[in-house]
Amino acid sequence: MKLLVSALEPSSNLHLKEVLKYTKDMELIGVFDKTLGTPLHDISEMAIMGVVDALIKIRWFFKVADELVTLAKDADKILLMDSSGFNLPLAKKLKEKYPEKEIIYYILPQVWASRPKRVEKLEKYCDKLLGILPFEVDYYPQGKVQYVGHPLLDEIDIHRNETQTKNVIAFMPGSRASEITRLMPIFLELRRKLGNDIRPLLVIPPSFSRNKIARLYRGNREFEVLRDTHEALRRSEFAFICSGTATLEAALIGVPFTLAYIAKKIDFFVGTKILGIKQVGLANIILSNYNHTTLHNELLQEEVNVDNLLQEYYNTDRDIFAQKAEELKTYLSHGSSENVAKIIMES
């Protein structure tokens, strides 16, 4: 089978790699990580940093979309993953050009958080929608979405020895420059306040260069630096996490944590007052949709200070966290990779 793939994000390619373990005689064409085949464009070419970079590259992105439409004539099926800003317009072009070709969308955009009108386009231009959160199904009136499981349940295979994690704390200030520069001074002060009784691990994205690390992580030499999120969490008894997927990773690995997030004031206003966002951490969002409870505390904006973070470390109830983490795993139920592979391979 020849599969046209549009997978622009590093995380999407990790999920794609797991799916390919369950396929046979599969040839990939399109945009994906070069470790998975011979792409038209490697994902490193697709990375953009900020608005200016996006504006500079916008014509090039249109060109790539047109190239993918041309390439699709040789494809048996089409797989679009995440990156709705690129993949939704691409889905429209593909369906209009090849109405008979099956378009599968895996890792759906977060329509439950913002821009719900994307649902109409997804259902119009895609044939199968594969959700990784059970509650996503409820947002699609045509019933095109099926819950396939969550990819992290396939990708996390970590066993912690809690006797070896005592006094080890993971500090995870995020992957965006703005997040890191806001949190690192507070994390550094917190690390100093905790003293030498703790072993501090600082998680830095593996793609960051030495120059970028020196610019963004003031005081990083006072931490033990790790580039692998899962390894850092495996070794830790507690974590301070900026936001995003890392909260779900920590929950599935079983590491108690507190979310600490400082957004731009205008972004925070829009998110909370206009969009009505009530939770920031993905683990909390999932659990609140399941049984109207939460897994962890969320410190936001001015709440992110050393005294509050210290209280979180000393006062978080580890037993309640463990109970809620198990409820979360029960709700997600199983991994997605094998199910996605079966759907792709169906004749």
Least confident of 75-89, 165-179, 206-220, 274-288: 274-288
Residue 238: how many CB atoms within 10 A of its CB? 21
Length of the chain: 347
Instruction: Domain 162-332: give its CATH superfamily.
Output: Glycogen Phosphorylase B; (3.40.50.2000)
Residue 50 has pLDDT above 60, yes or no: no
Q: List CB contacts of 66: < 8 A, sequence separation 6 or more.
A: 93
> Of the candidates 178, 5, 144, which has an alpha carbon nearest to the alpha carbon of residue 77?
5
pLDDT of 33: 92
* Contact between residue 121 and residue 96 where contact means Cβ atoms under 8 Å apart: no
pTM: 0.89
Which CA distances in Å does 229 have to 19, 217, 251, 253?
Answer: 21, 17, 13, 11
44: confidence class by pLDDT, cuts 50, 70, 90 = confident
Residue where the block lists tokens 């590093």: 10
The per-residue pLDDT for range 87-141, each reduced to its tens digit, is 999 999 999 999 999 999 999 999 998 889 999 999 999 999 999 999 999 999 9
Determine the Cα–Cα distance for residues 45 and 61; give it in Å rounded to an integer.
10
* Contact between residue 171 and residue 201 where contact means Cβ atoms under 8 Å apart: yes
Give the chain's mean pLDDT: 92
pLDDT of 58: 79
Which of the two residues, 20 and 11, has the higher pLDDT score? 20
Residue 257 has pLDDT above 70, yes or no: yes
The two structure tokens encoding residue 31: 């945009």
At the topology level, CATH places domain 2-147 in Rossmann fold (3.40.50)
Q: H/E/C letters for each residue in the chain?
A: CEEEEEECCHHHHHHHHHHHCCCCCCEEEEEECHHHCCCCEEHHHCCCCHHHHHHHHHHHHHHHHHHHHHHHHHCCEEEEECCHHHHHHHHHHHHHHCCCCEEEEECCCCCCCCCCCHHHHHHHHCCEEEECCHHHHHHCCCCCEEECCCCHHHHCCCCCCHHHCCCEEEEECCCCHHHHHHHHHHHHHHHHHHHHHCEEEEECCCCCCHHHHHHHCCCHHHCEEECCHHHHHHCCCEEEECCCHHHHHHHHHCCCEEEEECCCHHHHHHHHHHCCCCCCCHHHHHHHHHHCCCCCCEEEHHHCCHHHHHHHHHHCCHHHHHHHHHHHHHHHCCCCHHHHHHHHHCC
The two structure tokens encoding residue 23: 């396929």
When pLDDT is averaged across residues 168-191 and rounded to a whole number, the result is 94
* Contact between residue 9 and residue 82 where contact means Cβ atoms under 8 Å apart: yes
Residue 177 has pLDDT above 60, yes or no: yes
Q: What's phi and psi for 161, nearest 5 deg?
A: -105, 100
* Residues carrying CATH 3.40.50.2000, the chain: 162-332
% the chain with pLDDT above 70: 96
pLDDT of 192: 96
The per-residue pLDDT for range 144-160, each reduced to its tens digit, is 999 999 999 999 988 88
* Contact between residue 255 and residue 236 where contact means Cβ atoms under 8 Å apart: yes
Q: List CB contacts of 312: < 8 A, sequence separation 6 or more.
A: 240, 258, 297, 299
Which of the two residues, 264 and 24, has the higher pLDDT score? 24
Residue 229: how many CB atoms within 10 A of its CB? 22
When pLDDT is averaged across residues 201-217 and rounded to a whole number, the result is 92
